[in-house]
Amino acid sequence: ILKIILKKNKRKELNFNGEIIKQKDLPGLLTMILFSPEDLMLIKGSPLLRRRFIDIELSQISRIYYNELVQYNRLLLQRNNLLKKIRENKKLIPMLDTWDEQIAKTAAFIVEKRLRGIEKLSKLAQKIHYEISQKMEILNIRYNIHNYKNEALNSFDDLFNFYIKALSKYRDNDIYRGSTSIGPHRDDIDFFINDISLKSFGSQGQQRSSVLSLKLAELEFLKLETGEYPILLLDDVMSELDTRRRENLLSLLQDNNVQTLITATDINLFNAHPKNKFFKVEKGIVSE
């Protein structure tokens, strides 16, 4: 049993099977997917949203990935602090070699996992979107390594060598800016419909359908990786979807017995189904 205990004027407490745990121990204990109105901005919003999306996904199935991500952010902060000091004292430049090697190793690990994860998600989302679009649209999702346009980097060694060379190449620029210009913190994820950029040329309906396909692909991805469907949280998105997309979503969840918690302000957005349960929240009071 996982509990999150909120107390007034105190830090929240995480409790798993009666024992207090730290936030770093959460990944993998309970897999969940959150679909909120913010996710409808996933395609046309900032790269930060897309990086956070894949990081949350991979952290749920691999605590090692989560730990490497935390380590990378720590190394990045330390390297950036050193870059700022070097602007005042050039004698510190040789110290960058040690940081660059550590960052290259961690970056290579993270990006290799992201590449594999996006590849699997793309295949799943493509099948789902093909049906949602009435077999008219082929959705492709590709991972975009910042400042790299050549042949694919497929292995950890390829990625490590790329980052060692790139960190050296952009070192002078990084010192001038006081920040690291290359790495997984600068990467992005691209979406294409029939090989046309969804962000640049896709309609609002295509973008929303693609996000819905991606979220449904997340369900299948986590089931394949963990053996069971995650809990799905839909936070006020039903009114954002048109009738066809809403019905497709509800039918899939009901047919696959996906445990889902949905918030909405209009009960008429839902179909009649024997497994549905409705709760009303009014003035902080919950009633069935």
Using pLDDT thresholds of 50, 70 and 90, give the confidence band for residue 254: confident
- Residue 209, phi then psi, degrees to nearest 5: -65, -40
Residue 150: per-residue pLDDT: 67
For 132, counting Cβ atoms within 10 Å of its Cβ (0-12 exposed, 13-18 middle, 19+ buried), the class is: buried
Q: pTM value? A: 0.88
What percentage of the chain reaches a pLDDT higher than 70?
Answer: 99
Residues 6+ away with beta carbon under 8 Å from 62: 27, 28, 113
| Per-residue model confidence as pLDDT tens digits over 75-101 | 999 999 999 999 999 999 999 999 999
- Residue 21 and residue 72 in one domain: no
Q: Are 77 and 178 contained in the same domain?
A: yes
pLDDT top residue among 242 and 282: 282
Containing 196, the helix (H) or strand (E) segment is: strand 196-197
Angstrom distance (rounded) from CA 272 to CA 288: 16
The predicted pLDDT at position 243 comes to 83
First to last CA, the chain: 23
Which tokens in the block code for residue 132? Answer: 């949602």
The distance of Cα 178 from the centroid of its chain, to the nearest Å, equals 27
Instruction: Specify whether 49 is located in the same domain as 84.
Output: yes
Same domain, 145 and 10: no
Question: Which tokens in the block code for residue 70?
Answer: 């935390």
Domain count, the chain: 2
Mind listing the pLDDT tens digit for each residue in 3-20? 888 888 888 888 888 888
Burial of 179 (0-12, 13-18, 19+ CB in 10 A): middle
The predicted-structure confidence for 261-275, as pLDDT tens digits, reads as follows: 999 888 888 877 778
The model's pLDDT over 156-214, given as tens digits with 9 standing for 90+, comes to 999 999 999 999 999 999 999 999 999 999 999 999 999 999 999 999 889 988 998 99
Residues 267 and 219 in one domain: yes
Domain that holds residue 23: 1-29
C-alpha–C-alpha distance, residues 217 and 209, integer Å? 12
For residues 144-150, give the mean pLDDT.
Answer: 83
Q: Return the higher-pLDDT residue of 51 and 288.
A: 51
Same domain, 20 and 151: no
Residue at 188: amino acid letter = D
User: What crossing angle do the helices spanning 204-226 and 243-255 adopt, rounded to 10°?
Assistant: 10
Q: What is the mean pLDDT of the chain?
A: 90
In terms of domains, do 102 and 9 share one?
A: no
Give yes or no: residues 107 and 5 share one domain.
no
pLDDT value for 122: 97
Same-domain pairing of 198 and 125? yes
Same domain, residue pair 21 and 109 = no
Are residues 84 and 114 located together in one domain of the fold?
yes
Q: Same domain, yes or no, for 8 and 87?
A: no
- Structure token pair of residue 103: 């960052």
For 24-60, b/e burial (b = at least 16 CB within 10 A) is eebbeeebebbbeeebbebbeeeeeebbebbbebbbb
CATH code at position 283: 1.20.1050.90
